[in-house]
Amino acid sequence: MARRYDSRTTIFSPEGRLYQIEYAMEAISHAGIVIGARSKDGVVLAAEKKVTGKLLDMSGAKGQSYGGSGEKIFLLNSNIIGGVAGITADANSLINYARQAAQRHLFMYNEDIPVELLAQRLCDLKQGYTQYGGLRPFGVSLLYAGYDPHYHFQLYHSDPSGNYSGWKATCIGANNGTATSLLKQDYKEDISVADAIELVLKVMSKTMDSTTLGSEKLEFATLTLDAEKKPKAKIFNPAEIDALLHKHGLAKKDEERDVAAPVPSDQTL
């Protein structure tokens, strides 16, 4: 009878808990980690790709597509990038929903959707699954890194219950306890985006299972302002990630490096 309060999302257990929501959060804590850090002139997201079998054909992901070619970091709108941890299929559906919500806002108001408003839109949807029964909640946590004229650079986190909160630096996924305490230790007020990149990479290298970082394990993105003060999202392609890691001394040694991923000479950072 232990399963009496487990099977439906909308039924409280006698202790006042919603088990399905807690199980969904558990699913997320096994997913690859996503770390975000906010600075005064930009936001940074980094994500760990979990399974990369040798036979998985990633040739399509070598180039840079508009929405990000990866599995974990996506462009939600021109001013917001999202990082996901959890069930990938659920995440894809949420990302589609987010992009639609953002475009709806653009259509109605002729402005990029404010970051918090987009987080709210997704949380309204997620909260619905904790109250209207018969279905499974989304097994996805998201990080939203964005910019809007109201509050400038922002970083939000949302979880399957529909809760959301704003952060200076945070993370979701496996080992998030270790990463959080590292971020707490090393985060400083008024850091620049370059410092934030360094911080995120450092925490990433310490929390990931593998000893050396490489583009086959890592996804990376930044959001800054361009010369016209418009938000500019940049989702790094594999060659750019390797170059970035190399710059920070976190890359693999040359002899270990994959033959398939040389740094093209025309790629600069």
Partner 1 sequence: MDISFALTGKGYVIVAADTTAARSIVKMKVDEDKIKVLSPHLLMAYSGEPGDTVQFAEYIERNIRLYHIRNTYALRPPSAASWIRRSLADSLRSRRPYAVNLLVGGYDTSTHTPHLYWIDYLGTMSEVPFAAHGYGAYFALSLLDRYHDPEASVEEGLATLRRCLDEVAKRLVVTPEKYKVKIVDKDGVREVEI
Instruction: Please give the residue ranges that form the binding site for partner 1 (CB under 8 A).
Output: 108-111, 114, 116-117, 149-150
* 111/209 with CB nearer partner 1: 111
- Compare residues 118 and 221 and give the one whose CB is closer to partner 1: 118
Q: How far apart are CA 231 and CA 59, in angstroms?
A: 29
Residue placing its CB nearer to partner 1 in the complex, 114 or 173: 114
Ordered alpha helix ranges (H), 13-147: 19-28, 88-109, 115-128
Dist. CA 131–CA 134, nearest whole Å: 10
Cα-flanking dihedrals φ and ψ of residue 195, to 5°?
-65, -40
Inter-residue contact 137 to 123 (CB < 8 Å) = no
Cβ–Cβ < 8 Å for 234, 223: yes
Measured from the CB atom, is 95 or 115 closer to partner 1? 115
Chain-centre distance for alpha carbon 80: 11
Of the pair 41, 111, the CB lying nearest partner 1 is at: 111
DSSP calls for 6-46: TS-TTPPPTTS--HHHHHHHHHHTTSPPEEEEEETTEEEEE
Residue 223 and residue 233 in contact, taking contact as beta carbons nearer than 8 Å: yes
What six digits make up the tokens of 257? 């490096």
Q: Taking the complex as a whole, how short is the minimal distance between the CB of residue 150 and partner 1, in angstroms? A: 5
Smallest gap from residue 104 Cβ to partner 1 (A): 12
Specify the residue, 114 or 160, whose C-beta has the smaller distance to partner 1: 114
